[in-house]
Amino acid sequence: MQKLAQSWLVLQISGSPFLLGLDAFLGEIPIFLFSLIGGVVADRMDRRHILLGSQFVQMSCAFTLTGLIVFEVVEVWHILMLSFVAGFAQAFGGPASQALIPSLVKSEDLSNAIALNSIQFNLARVIGPMLGGLALTKLGAAWCFGLNGLSFVAVIISLFMLHVRFNPQATGESILGSMKQGIAFIRRQGTMEALIALAFSMTVLGIPLIVFLPVFARDVFHQGPSTYTLLLSISGAGSVVGALVVAAMGNICRKGRAALLMLAGLGASMAGFSLSESLPLSCVLLFLSGAALVSVFSLITSLVQLITSDEMRGRVMSVYNVAFRGGMPIGSLITGYLVPRFSAPLVLACNGMILAVLGLYFLVGYRKVARL
C-alpha cells in the first residue's frame, strides 16, 4: 500500500520521473552501503532482536509520513528522507531475516521455505495495491501510510512469539576483519560469485519495471491510479504463482539450470511488456514477468543458502543482500535518468533483452551455475 501511494505521491507532487527513480534509489541505497555491516552484526547478536529493531524503525517512518500528510506539510524531500531511514533499517533487518530462515526449517525443505516466504511478500503486493488503490482514490494517501504502519504490529507480535535463538561464538575480530572473512568465504566457493553477480544483474535490470509502472500507466496507457493499481496487482499475482511453482517443485536437481531458464523468460516477457501498447496483452506479459522474477529470486537464494555454513550465514547473506537489494537503487537511478531521454518503453525493453542474453550466456557458455 505504501509503495503504491508513495510512488504516485512523488509523481503527483513533482511530476518528475527522475524524482520517482530517486525515491526508489534512496530507499535501497542504504542496503548497498550498510548491509555488510548488518551481516557482521547478524553473526554477533540475536537475529530476532535485530529484526525487531528494524520493524520498529520502519513502522515509525510510516506513521511519520501519515502525520505529514494529515497536517498538509508533506514535501518531496520529506518522502525522500524517510525512504532513506527505512532503507537503513532494512540494511540490518535483511541479513538477520535471511540468516534466521535456515534455523526454522531443515536443509531439504529450504527451497520450499524460501519460496513460501516470498509468497507472503508477493501476496501483499496483490492485496496491498487493491486496498491501497481504494484507499488512495477514496480516502487519500494518509490512509495508505497509516494502515501500513499498523501492519508492522502483527510482524512485531510474531517476532516476540518466536522462540528460536542464535547464540553467536565470542570473537575478538574487528568488524572489518569479519567482513573480510565473509568475502573470502564467498571467493572460495567458486560459483557463489556468479550467483551474486546474477542477483545483482536481475535487480539492476528487472526491478525498474515495477518502479516505473506509474509512468507506463500515465504515458503509455494514458490512465490514472486505477490502472497503476491494476498493473501492480497483476505483477504481484504473477509473483505469487511463480513462488507457488517453485515451492511445488521441491528440492529439485539442477536448480541453477531452472533459474537461468527463468531469467531468460523474465527478460523476454519484460521486453514484450515494454513494447506492447495493448493493455490486456501487457497484463499477460507483466504476469509472466512477475512469476519469472520471483522464481529466479527463490532458486538463486536457496542455492546461496545451501552453500553457506551457519557461522558465516549473516555475512554471506549480507553480501548477497548488497547484490540483490543494492542493484535496485542503481537500476532505478539509471533508468530514471534514461527514461526522460529515450522513453520508458525503449529503456525497459533494452533491460529485458540484456537479461535474456545474460540468462542464455550462463546457460550455454559459462555452465558452472547450470550444473548446480
Assess contact for 60 and 119: CB atoms under 8 A: no
Percentage of residues of the chain with pLDDT beyond 70: 90
End-to-end CA distance of the chain: 37
The pLDDT, as a whole number, for residue 118 is 63
- Alpha-carbon distance of 216 to 239, in angstroms, equals 19
Residue 146 has pLDDT above 90, yes or no: no
Quote the pTM value: 0.71
pLDDT, tens only, 217-259: 888 888 887 888 788 888 878 887 887 887 777 667 777 888 8
User: Could you tell me the domains of the chain?
Assistant: 2-165+173-364 (1.20.1250.20)
Judge contact between 50 and 42, C-beta under 8 A.
Answer: yes
Mean pLDDT score, 172-189: 76
Give the rounded distance of the alpha carbon of 105 from its chain centre.
22
Q: Is the pLDDT of residue 148 over 80?
A: yes
Report pLDDT for 268. Answer: 94
**What per-residue confidence (pLDDT) applies to 224?**
81
* Residue in 29, 50, 59 with CA at minimum distance from that of residue 93: 50
Q: What is the pLDDT of residues 348-372, one digit of tens each?
A: 999 999 999 998 998 887 777 777 7
- What is the rounded CA–CA span in Å between residue 372 and residue 367? 9
**Encoded amino acid at 40, one letter:** V
- Return the top range by mean pLDDT from 69-78, 159-168, 284-293, 297-306: 284-293
SS (H, E, C) the chain: CHHHHHHHHHHHHHCCHHHHHHHHHHHHHHHHHHHHHHHHHHCCCCHHHHHHHHHHHHHHHHHHHHHHHHCCCCCHHHHHHHHHHHHHHHHHHHHHHHHHHHHCCCHHHHHHHHHHHHHHHHHHHHHHHHHHHHHHHHCCHHHHHHHHHHHHHHHHHHHHHCCCCCCCCCCCCCHHHHHHHHHHHHHHCCHHHHHHHHHHHHHHHHCHHHHCHHHHHHHHCCCCHHHHHHHHHHHHHHHHHHHHHHHHHCCCCCHHHHHHHHHHHHHHHHHHHHHCCCHHHHHHHHHHHHHHHHHHHHHHHHHHHHHCCHHHHHHHHHHHHHHHHHHHHHHHHHHHHHHHHHCHHHHHHHHHHHHHHHHHHHHHCCCCCCCC
Q: Give the pLDDT confidence score for residue 230 in this predicted structure.
A: 86
Q: How far apart are CA 24 and CA 5, in angstroms?
A: 13
User: If phi over 0 gives left and psi between -120 and 50 gives alpha, with beta otherwise, what is residue 15?
Assistant: left
- Taking all residues of the chain, what is their mean pLDDT, rounded to a whole number? 82
| Rounded Cα–Cα distance for residues 111 and 314 (Å) | 18
How many Å separate Cα 51 from the centre of its chain?
Answer: 17
Q: Which amino acid is at 129?
A: P
| Whole-number Å distance between alpha carbons of 176 and 163 | 30
The per-residue pLDDT for 165 is 63
> Are the C-beta atoms of residues 208 and 352 closer than 8 Å to each other?
no
Residues 333-358, mean pLDDT to the nearest whole number: 90
Candidate from 140-149, 271-280, 285-294 with smallest mean pLDDT: 140-149
Residue with cell 542496503: 31
Cell numbers 511519520 label which residue? 64
For 179-186, what is the mean pLDDT? 79
Per-residue confidence (pLDDT) for residue 241, from 0 to 100: 85
**Residues 6 or more apart whose Cβ sits within 8 Å of residue 276:** 282, 285
User: What share of the chain has pLDDT > 90, as a percent?
Assistant: 18
- Confidence class of residue 57 from pLDDT cuts 50, 70 and 90? very high
pLDDT in tens, 21-54: 788 788 878 877 888 888 888 888 888 889 999 9
Q: Among 99, 107, 86, 125, which residue's Cα sits nearest to residue 230?
A: 125
| Residue scoring higher pLDDT (68 or 371) | 68
Residues 83 and 106: their CA atoms lie apart, in Å, by: 35
